[in-house]
Structure 1
Amino acid sequence: MPGGTLGKAATAVAAVVAVGGVLAATAPAAPASAALPDYTTAEAGNPIVAGWYADPDVAIYGNRFYVFPTASRPYAEQTYLDAFSSTDLVTWTRHPNVLTTANVSWARYAVWAPAPIARNGRYYLYFAANDIQSNSALGGIGVAVADRPEGPYTDAIGRPLIAQFVNGAQPIDQDVFIDDDGQAYIYYGGWGHANVAKLNPDMTSLGTFADGTTYQEITPSGYVEGSQMFKRNGRYYLMWSEGGWTGPNYSVAYAMADSPTGPFTRLDKVLAQDPAVARGAGHNSVLNIPGTDTWYIFYHRRPLSQTDGNARQVAYDRMNFNADGTIQRVTMLVKDNFADGNALGWQTYGGAWSVSGGQYRTTASYGGKSLLDDNHANATYDLDVTVTSGRGDAGLVFRASSVATGTDAYRGYYAGITPAGRVILGRADNNWTPLGSAPLPVATGQRYHLRVVANGSSIRVYVDDLTTPRISVTDTAFASGRSGVRVYNAAAAFDNVVVSNQ
């Protein structure tokens, strides 16, 4: 498209289609769904796929979106790469072992940060391996090739494409970008230094710049690792990760330039941890929906309850721009409409839970609950709840801690509705303290929208009518904690869970 309005996944990752029986690279096709994805976040919940994964990069091949992440495991076990694909950014199919060290003679372990791209009718996957610490070690950045997006990929040249430290940059964390004029670039670097090099049209060898050099250093202030390049409205955006990858300060920053080689001057942080949602958010990629100005940032993050450095998950959120082209800071939103058919990120305590028909369902139990790994304080909680059978109640747990299996085995608040004709609010602390109750006609099998607004000591509960609270109380027992759903002597279905900071 003219004007350079598409991002890496649209301009640099060309779709491959059959033309007269010959594979040829073309502009990417829009996904074959009724409507192009236009979400505020991963509406069906983050993480988007099961398992520990990190460093996601994205591509659009034909009518599918692809995510290629690192397997987030100890070094010696990082011997393979999986991929995931989707037509709608909601339901994902896993493609295991798209690349393994068995197909790369020089790679042993630490296979990191895959970067996918298509050209010349073939699919290329750039990767780092062996985590070399000096120029005397074998390893660096390699390139593999396949005839299908899901592989299998095999080593294209039998050796690393970039095997040495240049300008102080460890050869890891590569990203590949094809500009509007057809010139391909590879951006990479760890140890606080970033380089760019040209790729020749064969995509398996490096070219030179006008001055005869192969590498140019482009390190912006604060750079640590995780280069990512995209283009929008004729401007070049370099993104990178800052801080330590195992720590809470891991984050993403960016720069803008008029040239693919910079200079790149740091402008701002784009993505950082949110102590209410997740830690260690970083090592990102960017996806632009073809033909639109809709953008997403894909990244990894660590659940709040996890301390293992490799406990990382793939997520995405909406990325927005200001009128001058600068990027707004990304908010990690908490939503789950269960449209993906799973409940990733939820932890159950009693009861029997499942996802079907786009709803989170549980059979009747005395206090069965399922909670997210969050820690919200002042927040608005929204969800749809349907009591499907029983005369008990079903609803929302919030500001919860010390959660265990048992009727009131948690410390926190609960608001629910019951076909007995009430909306209730109470406090649990291994016992139950009622805080409020109001009459409310509730029919079994009918969906109701429940909202709780908790701000400091003020708690307001709404059902369907979101202007006038059914219950309004003041209580200071619990200031923050986890969010979730619960039943008591009732079976229920839950949907459209949203938790947002005030």
Structure 2
Amino acid sequence: MALLISLATTDVESADAPKGKVVFSDDFDGTEAKPVQSIGDLKQWEFLDPKTWTWKNTEDAGGVIEITERSSEYKPPTRSPGHVALVKDLNVGNCEIRFRVRSTKDTGNHRDCCVFFGYQDASHFYYCHLGAKPDPHSGQIMIVNEAPRLALTKNEKLTPWDDQWHNVMVRRNIDTGLIEVFFDDMTTPHMSVTDKTFAAGRVGIGSFDDLNAFDAFTVSTF
């Protein structure tokens, strides 16, 4: 069993982010001595339906995790994403989540990936739905609060999916309630909202019902 996880707190700072501490990092490669060989090696992750996820080695990104099926055996209590991978044993408040993602199938207007944060349980959490064409159920920052997902934003920006890798960042301040989501442009938010319903919680990645590959997942706190 092997995985590359960094739990040491390392200073990070950039022109577009507050100074913080890296509390979790995974590039899904493992080490030369202990390479990742399957999704089962990733012990710091909880996959709510592990049958729909796989690990693979790619020429352009090394190890990645990938959603392989649009349907899922995981059935959430209320209508919300079916593909969810959460970091185990990590609850964060003020945080910044960064990763790379590649959409591997064009499914039209709701082609998406999702980022989860403030996750309390299957009925209480936030997520950002990076859908290709925004509407009340796509391309919005969402809340699940003992009811089907509800958009907190009225975003009108398209998410420009193609077959290439893209950079995503979510920055959350639980003191002010500000949630900002960035897509490729790390200086201007793709969408943002202020909400204080949930405090600290778990974080993760996935999709509503689409296919994606993920790499270079990092969480820092500030």
Q: Say if 2:43 is the partner of 1:344.
A: yes
State the partner residue of 2:150: 433
Distance 1:44 1:334 in 2: 10
Closer, same or farther in 2 for the Cα pair 1:395/1:462, shift >3 Å?
same
Question: Cα deviation per residue 1:173-210 (whole Å; 9 max; x = unaligned)?
Answer: xxxxxxxxxxxxxxxxxxxxxxxxxxxxxxxxxxxxxx
TM, length-normalised to structure 1? 0.33
Runs (4 or more) in structure 1 with deviation over 4 Å come to none
Distance 2:121 2:173 in 1: 21
Q: Say if 2:120 is the partner of 1:401.
A: yes
State the partner residue of 2:77: none
Map of 1:256-295 to 2, 5 A cutoff? none
Closer, same or farther in 2 for the Cα pair 1:402/1:464, shift >3 Å?
same
Question: Cα deviation per residue 1:14-67 (whole Å; 9 max; x = unaligned)?
Answer: xxxxxxxxxxxxxxxxxxxxxxxxxxxxx9325xxxxxxxxxxxxxxxxxxxxx
Question: Cα deviation per residue 1:302-348 (whole Å; 9 max; x = unaligned)?
Answer: xxxxxxxxxxxxxx64889xxxxxxxxxx673001101234221011
For the 8 Å contact 1:423–1:440, the answer to whether it is kept is yes
Q: CA deviation at 1:354?
A: 1.5
Query: Counterpart of 1:440 in structure 2: which amino acid?
Result: L
Greater fraction of residues in strand: 1
Map of 1:179-328 to 2, 5 A cutoff? 317=8
For the 8 Å contact 1:385–1:395, the answer to whether it is kept is no
| Alignment root-mean-square deviation, CA | 2.6
Which of 461, 483, 486 is residue 203 of structure 2 equivalent to?
Answer: 483
Distance 1:477 1:338 in 2: 32
For the 8 Å contact 1:385–1:447, the answer to whether it is kept is yes
TM, length-normalised to structure 2? 0.70
Percent of paired sites with the same residue: 25
Q: CA deviation at 1:355?
A: 1.2
Query: Counterpart of 2:161 in structure 1: which amino acid?
Result: A
Query: Counterpart of 2:103 in structure 1: which amino acid?
Result: V
Distance 1:438 1:336 in 2: 32
Distance 1:348 1:377 in 2: 22
Question: Cα deviation per residue 1:362-421 (whole Å; 9 max; x = unaligned)?
Answer: 122352101012100110111112221134321210110113xxxxxx311111323346
For the 8 Å contact 1:45–1:344, the answer to whether it is kept is no
For the 8 Å contact 1:423–1:470, the answer to whether it is kept is no
SS, match of residue 218 in structure 2: strand
CA radius of gyration, larger in: 1
Larger relative contact order, structure 1 or 2 (CA cutoff 8 Å, min sep 6): 2
Distance 1:487 1:423 in 2: 12
Which of 387, 390, 394 is residue 103 of structure 2 equivalent to?
Answer: 387
Closer, same or farther in 2 for the Cα pair 1:318/1:441, shift >3 Å?
closer
SS, match of residue 152 in structure 2: strand
Which structure 2 segments of 5+ residues have no match?
12-20, 31-35, 58-62, 72-80
Closer, same or farther in 2 for the Cα pair 1:318/1:424, shift >3 Å?
closer
State the partner residue of 1:356: 56
Which structure 1 segments of 5+ residues have no match?
1-42, 47-315, 321-330, 404-409
Count of residue pairs brought into register by the alignment: 176
Query: Counterpart of 1:400 in structure 2: which amino acid?
Result: Y
State the partner residue of 2:24: 334
SS, match of residue 418 in structure 1: coil
For the 8 Å contact 1:386–1:492, the answer to whether it is kept is yes
State the partner residue of 1:496: 216
Distance 2:145 2:48 in 1: 15
